[in-house]
């Protein structure tokens, strides 16, 4: 891709791909503006290649040229490893205790800034291969690399331990920090609000975090009017939505849009 000044168009495509669908945004990097923000669910029974073809047919923006393209693999097939303990020759060995791995799996890893953490993961290669054919070269990462790094950044001035919960339909991630140290990362699937509450309270109990005192911040696909929020608020005293106003101001969006698309916009 030619990024010379004469051909630069100041457009960036960020595409977040999961087995259940794709979200993407087109960013104007010169004016710090989101030109387009879309969510495209897949039909569950359809082959992923067919659904990706529908995506490209529905959105002409997927066929334009961009200065930069980032693909985010949205799955829980990942684990955070202290960089000092990470050996590139054996990436699968770090995942075998937290997810099911196969001989044919391809592994990738992201270095998390200055935090001495390497996030090892299994990218969705069927999606990767399709997108390479259609988009050409791009950078790819695991969504949870963005989530962990940005929440560690956000915890810089916090003296106490903090619990961050990133919620999506059917699953959520918990990131627990102390200062800028990662104490825990985990992902859970849930089918009901009661499932969500159980896993959240159980995780807090394992780290001896008191629901009466610890701060819990919710972000992602969540609002103060949701059932998940109401149920969690019954048991957790210091519960609140994460303040995404700075991210919203950066990209000229509403705080609600920034909260929902926290990972996409931070990529």
Instruction: Please provide the DSSP assignment of 215-237 as one string.
Output: EEEEEES--TTSHHHHHHHHH-T
Instruction: Write the CA distances from 221 to 55, 127, 139, 194, integer angstroms.
Output: 22, 23, 25, 17
Q: What pTM did the predictor assign? A: 0.93
Residue 215 sits in which domain range? 147-262
Count other Cβ atoms within 10 Å, centred on residue 73. Answer: 23
Give the chain's count of helices (H) and strands (E): 9, 13
Residue 192 is part of a domain; what is its CATH number?
3.30.420.260
Phi, psi of 67 (to 5 degrees): -65, -35
Q: Is residue 105 part of a domain?
A: no
Residue 109, both tokens: 């890893």
What's the gap between Cα 214 and its chain centre? Answer: 23
Q: Is residue 17 part of a domain?
A: yes
Domain boundary among 36, 58, 73: 73
Same domain, 160 and 253: yes
pLDDT tens digits for the chain (267 residues)? 445 555 789 999 999 999 999 999 999 999 999 999 999 999 999 999 999 999 999 999 999 999 999 999 999 899 999 999 999 999 999 998 877 777 778 999 999 978 999 999 999 999 999 999 999 999 999 999 999 999 999 998 888 999 999 999 999 999 999 989 999 999 999 999 999 999 999 999 999 999 999 999 999 999 999 999 999 999 999 999 999 999 999 999 999 999 999 999 999
Q: Is residue 93 part of a domain?
A: no
Contacts of 252 (CB under 8 A, 6+ apart): 32, 33, 34
Domain boundary among 21, 45, 73: 73
Same domain, 242 and 152: yes
């Amino acid at each position: 891709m030619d990024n010379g000044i004469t051909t630069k168009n100041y457009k960036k495509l960020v595409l977040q791909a999961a087995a259940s669908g794709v979200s993407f945004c087109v960013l104007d990097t010169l004016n710090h503006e989101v030109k387009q923000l879309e969510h495209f669910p897949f039909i569950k029974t359809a082959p992923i290649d067919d659904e990706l073809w529908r995506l490209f047919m529905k959105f002409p923006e997927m066929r334009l040229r961009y200065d930069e393209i980032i693909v985010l693999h949205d799955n829980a097939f990942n684990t955070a490893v202290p960089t000092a303990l990470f050996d590139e020759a054996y990436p699968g060995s770090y995942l075998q205790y937290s997810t099911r791995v196969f001989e044919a799996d391809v592994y990738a890893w992201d270095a998390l800034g200055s935090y001495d953490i390497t996030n090892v993961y299994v990218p969705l290669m069927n999606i990767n291969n399709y997108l390479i054919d259609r988009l050409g070269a791009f950078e790819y990462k695991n969504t949870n690399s963005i989530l962990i790094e940005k929440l560690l950044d956000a915890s810089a001035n916090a003296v106490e331990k903090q619990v961050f919960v990133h919620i999506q339909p059917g699953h959520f991630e918990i990131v627990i920090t102390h200062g800028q140290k990662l104490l825990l990362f985990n992902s859970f699937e849930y089918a009901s609000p009661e499932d969500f509450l159980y896993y959240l309270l159980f995780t807090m109990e394992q780290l001896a975090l008191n629901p009466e005192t610890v701060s819990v911040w919710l972000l992602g696909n969540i609002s103060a009017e949701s059932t998940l929020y109401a149920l969690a608020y019954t048991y957790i005293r210091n519960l609140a939505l994460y303040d995404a106003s700075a991210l919203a101001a950066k990209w000229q969006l509403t705080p609600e849009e920034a909260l929902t698309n926290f990972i996409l916009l931070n990529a």
